[in-house]
Amino acid sequence: MSQTPIVQVSGLTRDFKLGRGAGRRAVLRAVDQVSFDIHHGETIGLVGESGSGKSTIGRMMVGLLEPSAGDIQLFGKSITGPQRRGNLGAVRQRLQFVFQDPYSSLNPRMRVGNAVAEPLDISRPLAPKERAERIAELFEMVGLPPAFATRFPHEFSGGQRQRIVIARALALNPDFVVCDEAVASLDVSMQAQIVNLLMDLQQRLGLSYLFIAHDLAVVKAISHRVAVLYAGEVVEIGHKARLYAAPRHPYTQALLKAVPRPVVGRVRPPPIKGELLSVLNKPAGCSLSPRCPHAAPRCQQEKPLLREVEPGWQVACHFHETLAAAPRP
């Protein structure tokens, strides 16, 4: 894994305008000042509750949504705003997306071979023989017989369809792939197969991933580093081994506590109660303070900044040192 970031996200923010209330239009801030880097050959796992802004970040990364503020750089060049429009085709070829539901992302009336080749037909048209050879190569790359290319999406299982979608994402030899809940709709055995496939492709092709998921076990298996998102904000980010072993943010501790583990005699941290904070009613201080069992008056008044507590480990909590010394979850 290279030490030079290929993707740099700085202050990424996304607002959505809602209906008018009290004479003015309400604004929902789904993503709030998110920053992180992704290196060549690295996987960043992005975790958090539903509604925390994970998919919104993923869509902004590949240009499906335009950021309201902030910047995304690919190989040192901005791919947001006016800077992106000049080389939109080249940018799209280097960034790809794998959706949660493979069936809805495939045209049911198009043979899957043509679906896989569609990016090539748009960006890099090939002669018929070369096109057929590239389709066969992509199918073999994801563990499917090339003869399957003549079939339609409904003729495949969910796991096979996800392999087809991954093959389509690889058609233009991208550098960076966003996987948005790419295994959430699959059973456990198939999840393991797809995760192993993604890891194998990363080794062979030098891919970098942003892997968005709810399942912390899957994220731990595939990721190098993990970013924890709450109410549109990154509250902790670090190497998976350290973060899973000794999380320093109460929300990260709560997420790990929710994972069923048959461990006898281990002391667990106090639970996080209540529902995910509405991003329309964020407190002035820490977004987690209404739910946090460790909250103090300072938390309600002063917003904690994402600070480096150890090399490569950042936490946004006023009391991260106290939590670091607490019993492990």
Give the residue-averaged pLDDT of 245-253: 90
Give the residue-averaged pLDDT of 282-291: 83
Q: How far is CA 196 from CA 15, 142, 186, 202, in A?
A: 36, 11, 14, 10
pLDDT higher than threshold 70 for residue 277: no
pLDDT tens digits for 154-201?
999 999 999 999 999 999 999 999 999 998 888 888 999 999 999 999
pLDDT higher than threshold 60 for residue 108: yes
pLDDT confidence of residue 329: 45
pLDDT confidence of residue 88: 61
pLDDT tens digits for 41-93?
999 999 988 888 999 999 999 888 999 999 999 888 888 876 566 556 667 78
Cβ contact 287:299 at 8 Å: no
Q: Edge-to-edge strand order for the sheet containing 5-21? A: 24-39, 5-21, 69-74, 77-78
Chain-wide mean pLDDT for the chain?
A: 86
Is the pTM of the predicted complex or chain greater than 0.85? yes
pLDDT confidence of residue 89: 63
